[in-house]
A and B are shown apart, each in its own frame.
Chain A
Amino acid sequence: MRILIVDDEIIIRALLLDVLKSDGHEVDAVGNGYDALKLAKKNDYDIIFSDVHMPEMNGYELLTQIKSHHPQMAVVMMDSYPEELSERCMRDGAFHCVHKPFDISELRKVIKSIEDKKHSGDVS
């Protein structure tokens, strides 16, 4: 799977890079929304993991932009504010929401379900 990580926190980017690469995915990581949009335009990602609270462009804006340009792309939002996140992400078309701090198994589960859906041709 081709995965893009968007988070201003280095530790989260590093963790996701280490874990997902060792799982055999093709992973890119950026620190802000603009870089994410650039990469998304260039590469055809299967999944984008994005943080919500980021400088300059926050996760919601990124989600909206990605969805308008790449409606087929699965976007998974990550944040520390559970209730706020779930509501808004799902409304704006996120595939799933992950609450920080998360277990890496949870991430794997999400990736697995996207993989499954992709194979069945039902990814939104």
Chain B
Amino acid sequence: MSPNKKIRIGLRLQFAIGAVVFITFIVISFTSFFVATYREILEKKLEEKGVALTQTLSQNSQSEYFLWLKNGENLKGILRGVVGEEQGSGEYKEVHDLDVVYGAFFDEEKRPVAKRASRSFNLSPVRIAKYLDKERIQSQIIYQDNEKLMLISIPVTYLKEVSSDEELVFEDVMSREESSERTVIGYAVTVLSFQNINESLKTIKKYVAIFLSIIAGVSMIMISFMVGLALNPIKRLLIGIKHITKGNYGHRVHVTRDDELGDLAEAFNFMASVIEKSNRELEDYSRELENKVRQRTKEIEDMQLQLIQAGKLAAVGELSAGVAHELNNPIGGILGYSQFIVEKIRKNPEEVKKNIASIEKYLSLIARESQRCKRIIRNLLRFSRASKMEFEPTDINIVLKESVDIIASQLETKNIRFEMSFQKDLPLTQSNANQLQQVFTNILINAQKAIGDKADGSIRIKSFLRKSKEDEQHDCIEVFIQDNGCGIPKENLSKIFDPFFTTRKTGEGTGLGLSLSYGIVKDHGGDILVESRERQGSTFTIILPVIDIRT
């Protein structure tokens, strides 16, 4: 489609990519929000559980009050159940899913009494001591080597008003308002890892990623499919347009949709039908026109043939006076000499016998003049013969000479000087000699008429071969016929080749000569040019292409 080979991203792909980007954005935003919220919930839960665990520790240690006073060996036992691999057993079962990395008891001076650490927990007790608060339960986020941990500390209290040793009342420090009555004897501390949360969040993220990929994939496929569905009619329209462009106007697009695309297809089909209809009409018109043209052409050709013949006859008429003169001179000679001889023989046969040489001279004169008559008549006959559009190898110089012969007598009698310069060795060319003779004769008659009675009138006839620079096939024979007669007025120059255009009196010219000449030369693939100046003369140039005889 596109002329340059640029990478093309189709509508389908554009939509799919757009959809995927959009869905990814939505899902990522949602996931971030969800994960953040979930993390918050989990952390809260962790804190609650951690506090509960630490409270349990605290309470358990309270019962061991006296142990506090000694050393932390028993407290260590408590811690053992919470921290490390043994966790999740006994009374800490409820918080077994907690990852407790550190558990410790501090005395009221915030000195560690007992501690137990799992993994590589290496925060110093001094640092932990900073987080301890006598007044309240502390839950702190602390970092060890960039690992996020939660430190929970609960003050361990001892109620002083004890009625008896057996009935010691231990109460949750949280549920008692009057904690001031209690003595803080130490702190229970646990440090929890977020690893479990992180892991579960990681799992969630993994599922979300898988889910996202599936959603993206499915939506891409769905959108691609839907866009494809939507594009299908457009594709069909495109194919339809290609068909119409190729001229296959009968092509229709089948889209059965009740939407804008359906409307488009319907409009397209309507357009195609309109084009088809008008094209059919155009074809009909052009066929009709072609027929008319063919018919008219034939009529014109017939008419032209008739015109050529008519023009010839007219030219014969114009020539007849000249021909009469031309013929009458030799006939006069023949007639006179034959009468003279007969007279001599009748009067004095003896004398004739003696002077047979003079008789012989007379007879040869008669023979010569008869030949002359024969030649004139032959030329005239050739000129008036019905023309056939037959082309044969022709020597243009011979045609020119014969044309000149026909009107020679008139030219001589009208006191017209006659100069001929023919290029020798003109190539023969395919042409109709009769018709060309008519052309030359017409132009010569016109030249003679243009000179009229003018003194020192002259007609120059020249033929030469104009060689084409490119190849021999474009060589032309050019014939100049130049007179120094009255010339053609400017306003008539454009009309001289029009049929029936004549400046002569009615009866003197048909006005067909030049128009026929023009037609004939055009039939030969040539051209006639005319240059003229009033009172200075005209030059007709007949250009004939050399048509190779072999072809």
Determine if chain A interacts with chain B: yes
Interfacial residues, chain A to chain B (CB-CB below 8 A): 8-9, 11-12, 14-16, 18-19, 22, 53-56, 58, 79-81, 100-105
Is there contact, CB below 8 Å, between A101 and B413?
no
A-B CB contact pairs (8 Å), 5 listed? A12-B336, A15-B336, A79-B325, A101-B331, A101-B333
Known: A79-B325, A101-B328. 18 other contacts (CB 8 A): A8-B412, A9-B329, A9-B332, A9-B333, A11-B329, A12-B332, A15-B336, A15-B337, A22-B344, A53-B325, A54-B415, A55-B412, A58-B415, A80-B329, A81-B324, A100-B325, A100-B332, A101-B335
Within 8 Å CB of B365, what residues of A? Answer: 11, 14-15
Within 8 Å CB of A102, what residues of B? Answer: 332, 335-336
Is there contact, CB below 8 Å, between B340 and A104?
yes
**Does residue B362 face the partner (Cβ distance < 8 Å to A)?**
yes
Within 8 Å CB of A12, what residues of B? Answer: 329, 332-333, 336
Is there contact, CB below 8 Å, between A11 and B362?
no
Is there contact, CB below 8 Å, between B340 and A18?
yes
**Does residue B339 face the partner (Cβ distance < 8 Å to A)?**
yes
Is there contact, CB below 8 Å, between B339 and A104?
yes
**Does residue B369 face the partner (Cβ distance < 8 Å to A)?**
yes
Do A81 and B325 form a contact, CB below 8 Å, given A18-B362, A19-B336, A103-B335? yes
Within 8 Å CB of A54, what residues of B? Answer: 413, 415
**Does residue B94 face the partner (Cβ distance < 8 Å to A)?**
no
Interface residues of B in 309-358 (CB under 8 A from A): 321, 324-325, 328-337, 339-340, 343-344, 358
Question: In the complex, what residue of chain A is closest to B340 when comparing beta carbons?
Answer: A19
Whole-angstrom distance from the CB of B507 to the nearest CB of chain A? Answer: 15
* C-alpha gap A79/B413 in the complex (Å): 11
Interface string of B404-429 (1 = CB under 8 A from A): 00000000111100000000000000
Within 8 Å CB of B415, what residues of A? Answer: 54-56, 58
Question: In the complex, what residue of chain A is closest to B344 when comparing beta carbons?
Answer: A22
**Most B Cβ at <10 Å: residue of A58, A103, A104:** A104
Closest 9 CB pairs of A and B: A53-B413, A11-B333, A101-B332, A80-B328, A100-B328, A15-B336, A80-B325, A101-B331, A9-B329
Is there contact, CB below 8 Å, between B340 and A15?
yes
Do A104 and B343 form a contact, CB below 8 Å, given A54-B413, A81-B321? yes
* C-alpha gap A58/B337 in the complex (Å): 25
Is there contact, CB below 8 Å, between A11 and B325?
no
* C-alpha gap A101/B330 in the complex (Å): 8
Question: In the complex, what residue of chain B is closest to A11 when comparing beta carbons?
Answer: B333
* C-alpha gap A55/B335 in the complex (Å): 24
Within 8 Å CB of B340, what residues of A? Answer: 15, 18-19, 22, 104
* C-alpha gap A19/B413 in the complex (Å): 25
* C-alpha gap A80/B410 in the complex (Å): 12
**Most A Cβ at <10 Å: residue of B329, B362, B412:** B329
Main secondary structure, interface of A, reads loop
Whole-angstrom distance from the CB of A119 to the nearest CB of chain B? Answer: 25
Within 8 Å CB of A104, what residues of B? Answer: 336, 339-340, 343
Question: In the complex, what residue of chain A is closest to B338 when comparing beta carbons?
Answer: A104
Within 8 Å CB of A79, what residues of B? Answer: 325
Whole-angstrom distance from the CB of A103 to the nearest CB of chain B? Answer: 6
Question: In the complex, what residue of chain A is closest to B324 when comparing beta carbons?
Answer: A80
* C-alpha gap A16/B331 in the complex (Å): 14
Within 8 Å CB of B335, what residues of A? Answer: 101-103
Question: In the complex, what residue of chain B is closest to A100 when comparing beta carbons?
Answer: B328
Question: In the complex, what residue of chain B is closest to A59 when comparing beta carbons?
Answer: B413
Question: In the complex, what residue of chain B is closest to A79 when comparing beta carbons?
Answer: B325
Whole-angstrom distance from the CB of A73 to the nearest CB of chain B? Answer: 23
Within 8 Å CB of A58, what residues of B? Answer: 413, 415
* C-alpha gap A22/B343 in the complex (Å): 11
Whole-angstrom distance from the CB of A68 to the nearest CB of chain B? Answer: 20
Within 8 Å CB of B414, what residues of A? Answer: 53
Within 8 Å CB of B332, what residues of A? Answer: 9, 11-12, 15, 100-102
Question: In the complex, what residue of chain B is closest to A102 when comparing beta carbons?
Answer: B332
Interface string of B197-219 (1 = CB under 8 A from A): 00000000000000000000000
Question: In the complex, what residue of chain A is closest to B456 when comparing beta carbons?
Answer: A56
**Most B Cβ at <10 Å: residue of A8, A9, A19:** A9
Interface string of B361-400 (1 = CB under 8 A from A): 0100100010000000000000000000000000000000
* C-alpha gap A22/B362 in the complex (Å): 13
Within 8 Å CB of B328, what residues of A? Answer: 80, 100-101
Whole-angstrom distance from the CB of B110 to the nearest CB of chain A? Answer: 159
Within 8 Å CB of B413, what residues of A? Answer: 8, 53-55, 58
Is there contact, CB below 8 Å, between B336 and A101?
yes
* C-alpha gap A105/B325 in the complex (Å): 21
Whole-angstrom distance from the CB of B357 to the nearest CB of chain A? Answer: 13
Question: In the complex, what residue of chain B is closest to A99 when comparing beta carbons?
Answer: B328
Whole-angstrom distance from the CB of B342 to the nearest CB of chain A? Answer: 10
Question: In the complex, what residue of chain B is closest to A18 when comparing beta carbons?
Answer: B340
* C-alpha gap A102/B325 in the complex (Å): 13
Contact of B339 among A11, A22, A105 (CB under 8 A): A105
Question: In the complex, what residue of chain B is closest to A101 when comparing beta carbons?
Answer: B332
